[in-house]
Structure 1
Amino acid sequence: MSEKNALEAEKAALRSELDETKARAEEEAERLRSEAINAWDLGKEAFLKSSEFGALCAKKALGYFKVGFSGCLAQFRTNGYSEEEHPASFLDVKKALMDMADEEEAEEEDEEEEEEDKADAIPRAPPSPSCI
């Protein structure tokens, strides 16, 4: 009987030690998860600000533009549009991309000129009546 009690006591001690070890392991796992999430967030922010991310976005946008442009050309051709009869410079992908860049530059210049004009404008007092 005493042997059985000793085994039960040892079993209870081992179970208690196992529970403590499990609790410490869970705490450590949670701490590591939290650190990993923080590291991921910091890395993600740095990546979003990097030139590599900008290049990937530009590459993806160019791909969408190219597919959309090809689709438009296919629709033109399907609907009987003849490039020989009606040459259109907008049907050239490279030229269209260059024109887009030129348009953006022109818009930026216009915005800068408008800002300069606003800065140069001096508020004037209304003219005073000379005879009443």
Structure 2
Amino acid sequence: MKKSTFTLLIALFSPCVLAAPDGGFHPDKAPPPPQKQDSGIRGVEDLRPTAIKQVKTLRDGAWVTLIGNIHRQLGKDSFELHDKTGSLALHIAPDGWRGADISPDDLIIVSGTLHKDPHGETVDVQQLQKQ
């Protein structure tokens, strides 16, 4: 009796666990136009966001915080972030989404390490927050 009850409970709850979304980028919505990209920080006082234009002048390995919209996916784990001053490539590991579902019209805050190479600048995202 106990085994059948236990088996029934496992059967009932396992589809819920398997169906849980992992989060990620969903390109089904259009991004806002550049003039409508507001920073929109809501109660986050310890972050000092930097404009993408300024980030490109920083040294390799600098810690940066950016606010903007992801416009498109460039590769498996690479995405393009836009703000009012320009665009920058992001590298977001699959577990970096932490269950957040992001679309192009969502304003996000990302923090991570700036990497510079001959191909351009990339931010290796360590923290991602949807506004």
| Bucket of the pairwise TM-score, normalised by the shorter protein | under 0.3
So what's the TM-score if we normalise by structure 1? 0.24
Q: Name the structure where strand makes up a greater proportion of residues.
A: 2
Higher relative contact order (CA 8 A, sep 6+): 2
Which has the larger Rg?
1
**What TM-score do you get using the length of structure 2 for normalisation?**
0.24
Higher helix share: 1
